Amino acid sequence: MKEFWQSCIQALAQELPPEQMKAWVLPLAPLGFDEELGELRISAPTPIKQNWAKTNYTARIQELASQWFNRPDVKVMFQLVRANQVPPAMSGATAAVALASAPVAPVQAAPVTGTQPFGTSPEVIIESAAPNVPATASFGNTESEDFIYKRSHINPNLTFESLVVGRSNQLANAASAQIVDKPGVSAYNPFFIYGSTGLGKTHLMHAIGNALIKAGKVNRVRYIHADQYYSDLVKSFRTSTFDEFKRYYHSLDLLLIDDIQFFRKKDRTQEEFFYLYETMVAQNKQIIITSDTYPRELQDISNRLTSRFDSGLTVHIEPPELEMRVAILLRKAEEKPGIILKEEAAFFIAKHLRSNVRELEGALSKVSAYAGFHGLKTFTVEVCKEALKDLLSVSNGQITVENIQKTVADFYKIKVQEMYSKRRPANIAMPRQIAMYLAKELTQKSLPEIGDLFGGRDHTTVLHAVRKITEARVKNAELNHQLHVLEQTLKG
Ligand SMILES: Nc1ncnc2c1ncn2[C@@H]1O[C@H](COP(=O)(O)OP(=O)(O)OP(=O)(O)O)[C@@H](O)[C@H]1O
């Protein structure tokens, strides 16, 4: 009975404006269903509401009940039950299917207890309470936003504000803004984000969800990992609650499904998802999918799905470039109260850890733990080097002249080609001489070999650079510091 009422509310919420739902439908509550008479009794708390419901909703609820109980002769009765009144006792078949303690509080915030439509999965149990909560209430109402959040499994911290944008995710970020602007538009549906692990796909997906909820553009939102979707589906078969499962997903406004590659070889899950996909897209309900690869490259996923994934907008997130890695580290450090991450220390970490953002976060946590243990608030290159000793020894290769040229070019924000060019403006000549100096200091190469690697320069040019930097270093504290950072970075 409870399930029926939930699905009934859900169906009505699709058809009626939120104000009407709140004022007239949510105050109603099911009393019971008499199987012998085919009588569905529903309580209304006031005569006005009783009358209104009778006039306006009888036919539709009757239709829904006939489908649900699979009989054409259902009669709907609205009974006046004032808030402090105990509903009349039920007997026989009625009692068997009635709610244990009807009437249900019409606007109920807490998850439903008792019947668990999706087996033991708390993920979906909370969701199944959705129709009973004021999901369709006004979005100005923070409580209602709260409910939407609770049911959605969206992480409120993963927002656009906390996402650093750089070359590698610029396009994905711009496309996301379009979706927030006009969710469900066919050109962007589905929105398919792919890229390797730890690059911010999930973050972006949550950011869109957060923005759409805040903008009041979606009511029924769900973030789910593909593997969890699979488990919930299996559970629904086991517990004979598949219809609930299906109804719930098919009623969503926004579905965020993470790591779709987990559907690999799960044919029944793929089939069910295909139907869900078709339903949502046909109704202009937005679907966002992440994956470790682009649609056509997905292994063991049916063609009819991958071709549909390709039919909306597909974007790639690439590994962040050095500047972005530094920016991410500085931003993440700002979020940790009471610590200061020096820019050169961020550069040091970013230079060594290139593959993904999760790795950068891990490194920063390690440094924080190390610094905390030693009572240090400022993270210098030395602190980072010490804290990340184990991590860096794995990722660190031998120092080469190419590596020195690249590191120095990155540090002074010039192109690496300038290391071989003949151009001599000071902002280029100086870093080039520094790179030559470091090549002599940190590698076994001879002066002529180094000259060759710097665009075929004479060994005397290299010697001049080495002498010049050696002297300048002694006199110029700032230069000495920069060289120190570069040395630490290169040595790891
Ligand atoms: N551009 C970014 N700005 C700020 N934080 C980021 C950025 N990219 C990723 N992150 C952070 O890095 C961590 C990993 O990101 P996320 O989980 O979104 O990666 P993913 O691409 O979904 O990885 P996986 O494929 O392994 O699920 C998260 O904590 C996320 O907040």
Q: What is the best residue among 326, 329, 358, 364 to mutate for testing ligand 1's pocket, by most ligand atoms within 8 Å of CB?
A: 358
Tell me if 121 is assigned to some domain. Answer: no
Q: How many CB atoms lie within 10 A of CB 15?
A: 9
Residue 115: the pLDDT is 30
Digit-coded pLDDT (tens) for 272-318 = 999 999 999 999 999 999 999 999 999 999 999 999 998 999 999 99
DSSP 272-338: HHHHHHHHHHHTT-EEEEEESS-GGG-TT--HHHHHHHTTSEEEE-PPPPHHHHHHHHHHHHHTSTT
Model confidence at 479, pLDDT cuts 50, 70, 90, reads very high
User: Domain boundary at 367, 395, 423, which?
Assistant: 395
Ligand 1 nearest atom to the CA of residue 166, by list position: 1
Residue with CA at minimum distance from ligand 1 atom 31: 203
Atom index in ligand 1 nearest the CA of residue 158 equals 31
Distance in Å, CA 349 to ligand 1 centroid: 17
Q: What sign results for the dihedral spanned by CA atoms 389, 391, 397, 400? A: negative
Q: Which residue has the tokens 């399930």?
A: 3
Poorest-pLDDT segment among 193-207, 328-342, 351-365, 394-408: 394-408
- pLDDT tens digits for 260-283? 999 999 999 999 999 999 999 999
- Nearest to residue 452, comparing CAs of 461, 443, 464? 461
The dihedral of CA 111, 115, 116, 117: what is its sign? negative
Whether residues 243 and 203 share a domain: the answer is: yes
Please indicate, yes or no, whether residues 371 and 425 belong to a single structural domain of this protein. Answer: no
Q: Is residue 133 part of a domain?
A: no
User: Residue 198 Cα, ligand 1 centroid: separation in angstroms?
Assistant: 5
Separation of CA 209 and ligand 1 centre (Å) = 15
Residues 271 and 378 in one domain: no
* Residue 122 within any structural domain of the chain: no
236 in helix, strand or coil? helix
Taking the centre of ligand 1 as the mean of its atom positions, its distance from the CA of residue 280, in whole angstroms, is: 27
Task: Please check whether residue 478 lies inside any domain of the structure.
Answer: yes
Long-range contact pairs involving 246-249 (C-beta distance under 8 Å, separation at least 24):
246/272, 246/275, 246/276, 247/7, 247/10, 248/124, 248/127, 248/128, 248/130, 249/222, 249/276
Q: Are residues 373 and 416 in the same domain?
A: no
Q: How far is the CA of 358 from the centre of ligand 1 (A)?
A: 6
pLDDT of residue 21: 78
Verify that 293 and 341 share a domain, yes or no. no
CA 197–ligand 1 middle distance (angstroms): 8
Q: Do 421 and 360 share a structural domain?
A: no
Q: How many angstroms separate the CA atoms of 264 and 91, rounded?
A: 51
Domain for residue 129, yes or no? no
The predicted pLDDT at position 139 comes to 34
Residue nearest to atom 6 of ligand 1 (CA): 200
Please give the pLDDT value at position 19: 65
Annotated binding-site members: 198, 200-202
Q: Is residue 391 part of a domain?
A: yes
| DSSP summary character for residue 237 | H
Q: Which CATH number characterizes residue 326's domain?
A: 1.10.8.60
Question: Distance between CA atoms of 41 and 34, rounded to whole angstroms?
Answer: 8
**Can you give the residue range of the structural domain that contains 17?**
2-108
Compute the mean pLDDT over every residue in the chain, rounded to the nearest whole number.
83
CA–CA separation, 317 and 324 (whole Å): 13
Q: What percent of the chain has pLDDT over 90?
A: 57
pLDDT-derived band at 34, boundaries 50, 70, 90: confident
Instruction: Provide mean pLDDT across the span 124-149.
Output: 44
The dihedral built from the CA positions of residue 296, 300, 301 and 302, taken in this order, carries a sign that is: positive
Cα separation values, 309 from 65, 190, 313, Å: 36, 6, 8
CATH number for the domain harbouring residue 415? 1.10.1750.10
Q: Is the peptide bond before 122 cis (omega within 30 degrees of 0)?
A: no
Tokens at residue 375, please?
Answer: 């009572």
The answer to whether the CB of 43 falls within 8 A of the CB of 61 is no
Q: At what angle do helices 322-334 and 343-352 cross, to 10 degrees?
A: 130
Classify residue 175: in a domain, yes or no.
yes
Q: How far is the CA of 249 from the centre of ligand 1 (A)?
A: 26
Do residues 153 and 281 both lie within one domain?
yes
- Hey, which residues does 462 pair with through a beta bridge? none
The whole-number pLDDT of residue 87 equals 45
Does 140 score more than 60 pLDDT? no
Q: 356 CA distance to ligand 1 centroid (A)?
A: 8
Q: How far is the CA of 203 from the centre of ligand 1 (A)?
A: 5
Q: Which of 286, 316, 346 is the last residue of a domain?
A: 316
Q: What is the pLDDT of residue 89?
A: 35
Residues 297 and 150 grouped into a single domain = yes
266 & 223 share domain: yes
Q: What pLDDT is recorded for position 147?
A: 83
Q: What tokens does 83 get?
A: 């808030």
| 137: pLDDT strictly greater than 50 | no
pLDDT at residue 8 greater than cutoff 70 = yes
Instruction: Count how many domains the chain has.
Output: 4
**Tally of CB atoms within 10 A around 338:** 7
Q: Which residues are annotated as a binding site for ATP?
A: 198, 200-202
Show which of 281, 316, 351 is a domain's final residue: 316
- Same domain, residue pair 304 and 255: yes
Pairing relationship of beta strands 313-316 and 191-194 according to DSSP bridges: parallel
Residue whose CA lies nearest to ligand 1 atom number 16: 200
The DSSP bridge partners found for residue 224 are: 257
Element (H, E) at 386: helix 381-387
Q: What is the mean pLDDT of residues 449-477?
A: 93
Alpha carbon separation from 171 to 62, 198, 256, 324 (Å, rounded): 50, 17, 19, 15
Kindly give the distance from the C-alpha atom of residue 333 to the centroid of ligand 1, in angstroms, as a whole number. 16
Check whether residue 310 and residue 342 sit in a common domain. Answer: no
Instruction: State mean pLDDT over 438-458.
Output: 91
Answer whether residue 47 shows pLDDT above 80.
no
Q: What is the CATH number of the domain that holds 94?
A: 3.30.300.180
Note the pLDDT of residue 128.
Answer: 33
**One-letter amino acid of 369:** A
Give the percent of the chain with pLDDT over 70. Answer: 86
**What is residue 20's predicted lDDT score, i.e. its pLDDT?**
74
Residues with CB under 6 A from ligand 1: 158, 163-164, 169, 195, 197-203, 259, 290, 292, 328, 357-358, 361
Task: Render pLDDT for 367-390 as a digit per residue (tens, 0 to 9).
Answer: 999 998 999 989 999 999 999 987
The dihedral sign for the CA sequence 314, 319, 323, 325: positive
pLDDT band with cut points at 50, 70 and 90 for residue 72: confident
Residues 373 and 450 in one domain: no
Please state the atom number of ligand 1 nearest to the C-alpha of residue 290. Answer: 22
Q: Which atom of ligand 1 is nearest to the CA of 195?
A: 21
Domain membership of residue 123 (yes or no) is no
Q: How many A from CA of 295 to the centre of ligand 1?
A: 20
For residue range 208-264, list pLDDT tens digits in order: 999 999 999 999 999 999 999 999 999 999 999 999 999 999 999 999 999 999 999
Strand 254-258 relative to strand 221-225, pairing = parallel
